[in-house]
A and B are shown apart, each in its own frame.
Chain A
Amino acid sequence: MNTSGPTLAIAKNTFTELVRQKVFFFLLIFALLIIGNSAFMAKFSFQEQFQMLKDISLGAMSVFTSLIAILATANFLPKDMEDRTIYTLLSKPVPRYQYLLGKLLGIIALLGVATLLMSVLFLAILWLRESTVLAETRAQLQGASAEEINSAVKEVTNATFNANLLPGIVIIFIKSTLLASLTLFLSSFATSSIFTIIMAAALYFIGHLQATAREYWLSGVNVEWWSRLLPALVALLFPDLQAFNLTDDIIAGTAVPMALFLNTAGLGILYVTVYFALAALVFSGREL
């Protein structure tokens, strides 16, 4: 039996459905945010402008992808049940895991396109601002030596774009797919989308504290066993979302070693796979 056919068909359908729900309208808000930000920043020095443009754009990218991941994933199962499309689909020879996989792939495709579009917009604004600042710098340095001009140009280009932004954006995408997969796991046993959204939002915050809880638990602090139980549970049951926050330091100019990037990406993919497998396990026994 060809298993990829139905999965891809469901993925394509999920993607189209989400596009029809005007999910991409958030791009307008994103564009307004970074264009407005870039215009407002004109009174700052160019170093400050670029720093803040990157801070706010990548932060917004992370917020939007996380929101899409949680809301889109939390919504599909209750919606399919309400529309009764799930019954039509599962009455065909389509295993339940394939249905879930198709849905997840559709959402991942949406997240991929959204990340790509936001990145293009962000990089275009960054490039435009860089061109403006470079033109101003060259005009101010008319008559200066070639060495001085080159040094000033280098200062501007160093403050604008660095190749490490790209792995940072990839990690934002992987973090959003992790959230989608985690929300899928939650929705596999949840009875309403509200429950799933609230739980996913709570897990988002707890996930960012997982590393702190893990450190506390493993540090061997001499305290009562019960006060170490909670951090132990957090460390064991929740994902370490702090591991995916590389952009804060990338924006500041820290270079990402390839090994760190690959290990973080690998951890993200592992989380996605495990949460999907658990979602499939629970969903396979669910009464519909």
Chain B
Amino acid sequence: MNGRKFLAIGLLGAFGAAILPLQSLLQVEAQAAHFRKAGLSIDLRERIGQAGFLAALSGFRSPLAAILWIKAHTAWENTEWGRMAGLFETVTTLQPRSLTYWDMAAWHMAWNASVAALQNEKQPSEALRVRAQRAYIQLGKDFLERGISNNPDRPELHVQLGVLLRDKLEDHCAAANEFFKAAQFPDAPPYVARFAGYEMAKCPGREREAYHYLRQLYQAGEKQRLPTLINLLRKMENDLDIPQADRVASGAESLED
């Protein structure tokens, strides 16, 4: 009996040794396909506690992330912005491939928390309120940038970063770059390419490049010929003094937005 037990354990070890290369290969294959990339560090252990860390290690990262997301939602209802930011940090560490979590975390920080900080009645100093507002916007931007680096194969977070740069930071050159990056993905929504052109047109020094880009979009087909695009092309043709014969939007239909 004992002999068989030891033989079984020996065989188990031999089997383990035989499949080591297979396991390593499978791990490489999984990581190349963006699986098993979540980093479970000591820092995360401190944030989620021993039980949470054990759950995360045991293959329950996603339910744990969902539970923490509900906690973050409760923190939002109580307008506990700092606690929310910490919980978002944990959730996105647990589920770095979830676009929803990155996107919503950035939105809460850059839009809700930043506005709340600016309107904070407990802070009499306007300078400090503005500083807090900027810090939250920066935090939102940071979430999107880290989200992008964890999801380099997806366009959605580039679009959201473009929107944040456009609406919150008014950095049109950087916004144009983000929309342009998003537009390079085959599954990007068609409006993203137009957004890239609109923002490029507002970027000092890139007006002519923007004109040629928007012109290409116009020539791409009816789907891109929206009133905003045609109006902008018409304005740019005047501003850039494009010869009448070369203008594309001159004969366009009525251009009411």
A residues whose Cβ falls under 8 Å from a Cβ of B: 43-45, 47-48, 51-52, 54-56, 58-60, 62-63, 151, 159, 185, 189, 204-205, 208-209, 211, 214, 218, 235-238, 240-249, 251-257, 259-260, 263-264, 267, 270, 274, 278, 281-282, 284-287
Contacts and interface: CB of A to CB of B under 8 A. Distances in A.
A211 B66 contact: no
Contacts of B97: 249, 252-254
B220 interface: no
A55 B63 contact: yes
Interface stretch (B28-36, B112-120, B194-202, B229-237): B28-36
Interface of B: 1, 3-5, 7-9, 11-13, 15-17, 19-20, 22-27, 29-30, 33-38, 54, 57-63, 65-66, 69-70, 73, 95-101, 103-104, 154, 189
Given A209-B57, A214-B23, A236-B17, 18 more contacts: A45-B104, A48-B69, A52-B66, A52-B70, A205-B58, A236-B16, A240-B26, A242-B59, A246-B30, A247-B62, A248-B62, A251-B62, A253-B99, A257-B29, A263-B29, A267-B23, A282-B8, A287-B1
Nearest to B38: A248
Contacts of A45: 104
Given A55-B65, A56-B63, A56-B66, A246 B26 contact: no
Contact of B101 (A51, A214, A285): A51
Given A237-B16, A287-B1, A48 B104 contact: yes
B62 A58 contact: yes
A44 B73 contact: yes
A269 to B, nearest CB: 12
Q: Is the interface of B mostly helix, strand, loop or mixed?
A: helix
Contacts of B98: 51, 251-253
A264 B16 CA distance: 16
Contacts of B24: 214, 218
B60 A63 contact: yes
Contacts of B63: 55-56, 59-60
A267 B99 contact: no
Nearest to A251: B62
6 contacts: A43-B73, A52-B70, A55-B63, A56-B66, A254-B97, A285-B3
Nearest to A278: B8
A284 B60 contact: no
A55 B66 contact: yes
B62 A254 contact: no
User: Which 8 A-B pairs have CB atoms at the shortest separation, nearest pair first?
Assistant: A59-B63, A236-B16, A252-B97, A55-B66, A252-B98, A55-B62, A245-B59, A52-B66
Nearest to B55: A59
A264 B60 contact: no
